[in-house]
Amino acid sequence: MKNTVTTLQEMKRKGEKISMLTCYDYTTACLMEDAGINAILIGDSLGMTMMGYSDTLPVTVDDIIHHCASVSRGLKDTFLVADMPFMSYQTSVYDAVKNAGRLVKEGHAQAVKLEGGASVCEQIQAIVNADIPVVAHIGLTPQSINAFGGFKVQGKNVERAIQIVEDAKAVEAAGAFMVTLECVPEELATLISKELTIPTIGIGAGAGCDGQVLVYQDMLGMFSGFKPKFVKHYANIGEEMKNAFKAYDAEVKAKTFPAAEHNFAIDADVMKAVKA
Ligand code: KIV
Ligand code: NA
């Protein structure tokens, strides 16, 4: 079944949960498509996972387009959302529409996602008016890291909790067709999911959301060291990869790879002529 804005919203109405993962390359996209994941996000988290930056702020529209177009070539039924990076929509409504358009035209995204609540509703409205579906993103918004003073759970006090509920209602009213809730206490995210008619996609926001999203390197266990509380490792791919790299290194050095079955043959008389 092809996933669209309509089918994703229909899933919420039927009480079916939406699965979403980040993805940044063609090979992984093909695997997620085969697995039946509903939606893929070209997250600006690619700045950290693929480019090694310490936050998402340096990511450009061109970076997102490069990865989004690559992923799009591996997809058939999976819905494709592209993140709008830092300063591609905050600067003006014009910039927001222009850059959203580039993500669709050059990146082949089917929707764009941007961070912020009431403060970006003008941008959401204008992008939706250009017939580009918008996913909003509220709660912990990593592009605001300097304003927040770090990555922390959002909505633990009354003032901020009320603000997040108001942001959720504002982005729905502005025309967003879905909203990401990041690092929001479970009960608050559940309340928001009940209040809104559009689907909520949680990351660190509990099972009451209408869907879930994870960064794929996190859920595959590709990073050793820090594991955020909300991440579950579904595999230990990092160890698997490292073991394969070590085995290859050892075989190259032991001259056991390549073996006879990996080699191409040549006719004896051709070789004789070459040597002559
Ligand atoms: O960039 C990203 O990966 C995201 C998800 C964590 C929601 O925005
Ligand atoms: Na993001």
**Which protein residue's CA is at the shortest distance from atom 1 of ligand 1?**
43
User: Cα(128) to centroid of ligand 2, in Å?
Assistant: 19
Cβ neighbours of residue 234 closer than 8 Å, sequence gap 6 or more: 219, 220, 221
Predicted confidence (pLDDT) per residue in 94-106, tens digit: 999 999 999 999 9
Looking up tokens 């498509």 gives: 33
> Comparing 110-114, 146-150, 261-265, which segment has the lowest mean pLDDT?
146-150
pLDDT tens-digit readout, 209-245: 999 999 999 999 998 777 889 999 999 999 999 999 9
- Asked whether 202 lines ligand 1 (CB < 6 A), one says no
Torsion of CA 253, 255, 256, 261, to 10 degrees: 130
Atom of ligand 1 nearest to the CA of 44: 1
Annotated active-site residue 10? The verdict is no
* Domains of the chain as residue ranges with CATH: 5-235 (3.20.20.60), 240-275 (no CATH)
- Using a CB cutoff of 5 Å, list residues around ligand 2, an ion: 43-44, 83
Residue 9 has pLDDT above 80, yes or no: yes
Q: Is the CB of 88 under 6 A from ligand 1?
A: no
From 115, 159, 172, 182, active-site residue: 182
* C-alpha of 214 from chain center: 7
Reported confidence tier of residue 91, pLDDT bands at 50, 70, 90:
very high
pLDDT value of position 151: 87
